[in-house]
Amino acid sequence: MTVLVTGGAGFIGSHLIEALIANGDDVVVLDNLSSGFMSNLPQPETRFKFVKADLKILKDWKNVLKDVSLVYHLAANPEVRVGEADPSVHFQENLFATFNLLEAMRKSSKSKNIVFASTSTIYGEPTKLPTPEDYGPLLPISTYGASKLGCEVLLSSYAHTQGLRALILRLGNCVGSKAKHGVLVDFIRKLKTDPSSLEVLGDGTQEKSYIHVDDCVNATLFLKEHFLNSPERCAAYNISSTDQISVRRIAQILTEEMGLRGARISCTGGVDGGRGWLGDVKKMHLSIAKLQALGWNPKLNSEAAIRKAAKELTR
C-alpha cells in the first residue's frame, strides 16, 4: 500500500520508514525539518517520496493524500519542557497540525485510516501503576500531554462522525539510535562537555518505562495489522517495556558505557517534589497487558533498552 508518514525525518519516524520500505510499502514522507533531519532518512532517496511541508499550512501539502490509504502521524514538537516557557508551541505543532491533517483526511476519498503516536503523558500522574488504557480521569500535568490528549479526542470524534478509523499508540519513553532529545542525549552532551561529572535534573528518584525504538516500531506494525483487520473505529494501546528504571540508574549505565565510571553523579534536587522540571511526571509505568493479550511482547526491558541505546548513541 501507499502510506504517509508525517514527521518521518524524526527519530521514531525514520526508523518506521526503514521498516515500511523493507515490508514493500510505497512511502511518502512529510516533514518540515524543524526537528527532523534528511540524514535520518534511508538512502537512496528514490526509495521514498519526500515532501517538505508544514502541516499547519494546508495549501503546501493538500495534494499529498491523493494516493495514500494509511497515515502514520508522528509529526509533533517532542520537547515536553518547551511548554513551560511557551504553551502555544504544543497547541500549534501538535493539536492544530493534527486538526489540519484530520480535515484533509475527511475530505479525501481514500485516506481513511490513521495511526497516531500519542504519549504516556496523557495520563498525568495516575494513582494506578502500571497504568492501563482505561485509567481515568485523564489529567495531564504538561501542555505537551494536554495537546496529545486533545489530539486523541479529535481522532476519536472524527472516527465516529467522519468515517475515519484511528489507532492511538500511547508510547513510553522511546530510546535508540538517531535520537536527538531525551535523557540519554542530554546526559551524553553533558559528559562530553565535562567527563568528570554528570548533573541529573530532579532528585534522581524519578522512575519511568523505557522502550527501544526497534521494539516500538515492531509493536506499531503489529498493532496496525491487528487494527486494520478489526471492526474497531478507534482504539488505544500502550506501547512500552514491562518495567521502570530510575533516572539515577540511567546515569550510572551511561557512565559505564562511556568508560567514565569515575564520573561524579549529582542531583539538582529538582522542583515541585523532586521533578526535573515543571510538568515532569515523576513516576510512569505503563501496563501493556492489552497489547500482550494480542501476542506481542518487547524484546528488551527498560534497562536493556537504555544500555543498547547508550551504545548506539556513543559509538
Threshold 0.85, pTM exceeds: yes
CA distance 196 to 98: 44
Under CATH, domain 2-174+210-239 is a member of which superfamily? Answer: NAD(P)-binding Rossmann-like Domain (3.40.50.720)
Q: How far apart are CA 214 and CA 304, in angstroms?
A: 12
Give yes or no for residue 301 having a pLDDT over 90. Answer: yes
Q: Which of 25, 32, 42, 24 is nearest to 6 (CA)?
A: 32
Q: φ, ψ for residue 79 (rounded to 5)?
A: -85, 105
Confirm or reject CATH 1.10.3720.10 for domain 176-209+244-285+300-314, answering yes or no. no
Q: Which residue ranges make up each domain of the chain? A: 2-174+210-239, 176-209+244-285+300-314
pLDDT at 81: 78
Q: What is the pLDDT of residues 78-118, one digit of tens each?
A: 888 786 788 999 999 999 999 999 999 999 999 999 999 99
Q: How many CA within 13 A on the CB side of residue 8?
A: 26
Residues labelled catalytic: 144
Task: Give yes or no for a cis peptide into 298 (omega within 30° of 0).
Answer: no
Q: Is the pLDDT of residue 211 over 90?
A: yes
3-state secondary structure of 309: helix
